[in-house]
A and B are shown apart, each in its own frame.
Chain A
Amino acid sequence: MLILFLAAGLFLIGERHAFAYVDPGTGSLLYQTALTLVLGIGLVFRRVRVSIVDFLKRLGGRGDDRG
């Protein structure tokens, strides 16, 4: 979860450049807000949270296998 938050935080800080084509007056903050709501879904639904954690664990596990 911590990784998710850190990743989201870093992504948000860099958002201004990523969405540079969006007119500043048309709600770029809205996109950031929508993205964080996706993050919020992870907080609300345990199944989503568990799936993400499992996925990350599997990723970690594969790495260990290779090593």
Chain B
Amino acid sequence: MTPRLVIAAWLGLALAALFFYPLAVALSTDIYYLQWRTADVLETTAALAVLACFFGIIVFWVWPRSTRASHAVLVLVSAVPLASFAAGVSRQLPFQRTLIAAGETGALGTIVSLVIATAAAVALLAWPAGFGRVVRRLLLLVSPVSLVVVATLALSAARTGAAVRIDHEPADAAAARVCAPVLALLFDELSFYYVYDQDDNIRPELSALTRFGSQATHYLSVAAPGRETLDALPSFLAARRVREIEVRSTGLMERGAESELLPFDAVRPDGLFGTARALGFWTEVGGYYLAYCDLLSGVVDVCRSRSFYNVSSPGEFSIADPMRTTVVLWPRQFPFGLLKHPAFARHQREMVEELTAFARRPIRQVPPTFRFVHFSIPHLPYVFDADGYDPPFDPLMTVPDDEYAQQVKYVDRLLGELMEELRREGVYDGTTVVVLADHGYRFGGRERDPLQIPFIVKEAGQQRRAEVRAEREGATLLRDTLAAACGSPARAAAR
């Protein structure tokens, strides 16, 4: 009985750990992107324990048996953990790109999966004893991997502490208002060419943007600060073009003039939020992907930050979250995509809902609010259409661009709802609203230049449409807009 119990406990832990192997890989190499907190360690430990018990009970039951049914059960419960382990290993291999390219070849992934499944079924039916022996040996062979997973999880506890939420109370509510509140809505990957037609008018199907743009200034030649979000967003925060960003476990590093790596500093006085503070704004930021609350600690009063990969919500304890995060970290290719797509789609919906709720918070007039919201749409996964959440079978399909075009329509709807909210609250006219993007659509379609971004500013009190065709740097334009909201000459000129 005791050896059977030891084997069941050992293999139960092994199967649970194999499932979490992709998460361990991410913790080892990309922990910054996970915005990892102590609560995540506890959630993952609890999930590991629960899964280990679940698998352990099954192994305890099937291990001494040598029937076809027991072999089949063992294969079935091992399939997902072994596949997850394989996915985690493949992510680290030097020929990962080749694997991805092979997986993108539609039929290949399906054929390989079917061949493996058929071979397993045939072996189980024809040689049940031999097949059972092979499966058991395979499980024993990979079982010590659990040591790696457990050690990585334990070590990650020392690397937690990502701030994902900041809530300060206003210190000086009686201060005189000198600036108009500013609401900056950055939509990730919103393409200029999907917003405007060839005559630089907003496309007629985007009714909310059209209405918003009829009383706003359209900057029609604004350069994106970077081709990727990772370079572009830090440039907006620093209010200067950042050459290149590299992610290290300790945070963001910036490539210097002589290619040296320096810690990226987003809180300098001449940065976006440093300037906002100097102008007397009450500063708020909500976004995903970057660890905003860590980056801007000290210059923001309110912050909400979400990871693009870690689905765990602050303040909610759920052992399902680490499992969903692991599935989100899987490859998108078949058969992994079957589970990844729904998990990733749900995560996208939750992020958008949280950031929308953040954007909807009441806007303070005294001190005036500067609120910057980085939305995860129309970036993939594409899970919305003009009517709301309606994920397709594959929300990560970028070609053709139909799904992306649907996301742009949802951006339009979302903007309309947000502006309507401001009108209801009676603060629309007195608030400067900025709609911008970090870069354009990167997968072809109508896109002609992903480094040209839409940048639309409705200044407080603005009643008519204006256009600025002069070339502008996106990285500095947002900071200039803040200054304009405080009564600089630029504000008067734009009206």
Contacts and interface: CB of A to CB of B under 8 A. Distances in A.
A30 B144 contact: no
A29 B24 contact: yes
A24 B249 CA distance: 9
B3 to A, nearest CB: 12
A25 B89 contact: no
Nearest to A32: B148
Interface in B146-186: 147-148, 151-152, 155
Given A27-B93, A30-B89, A36 B24 contact: no
B375 to A, nearest CB: 28
A13 B154 CA distance: 10
A43 interface: yes
B207 interface: no
Contacts of B143: 40, 43
Interface stretch (B134-142, B283-291, B293-301): B134-142
Contact of B148 (A5, A12, A26): A12
Interface residues of A, number: 22
A24 B155 CA distance: 14
A33 B141 contact: no
Contact of A36 (B25, B137, B145): B145
A41 interface: yes
Contacts of B463: none
Tell me if A's interface is mostly helix, strand, loop or mixed. Answer: helix
Interface string A22-50: 00111111101100110111011000000
A61 interface: no
Interface residues of B, number: 24
A44 to B, nearest CB: 5
Contact of A33 (B30, B94, B145): B145
A24 B144 contact: no
A41 B144 CA distance: 10
Nearest to B138: A44
Most chain B Cβ neighbours within 10 Å, of A13, A16, A43: A43
A36 B14 CA distance: 12
B92 A40 contact: no
Nearest to B141: A40
Given A24-B29, A29-B28, A29-B29, A36 B147 contact: yes
17 contacts: A5-B144, A9-B147, A12-B147, A12-B148, A26-B92, A26-B94, A27-B94, A28-B28, A29-B28, A29-B29, A30-B92, A30-B93, A32-B148, A36-B145, A40-B140, A40-B142, A40-B144
Chain A to chain B: the 5 pairs with minimum beta-carbon distance, closest first = A27-B92, A36-B144, A40-B141, A39-B144, A29-B28
Interface of B: 21, 24-25, 28-30, 89, 92-94, 137, 140-145, 147-148, 151-152, 155, 248-249
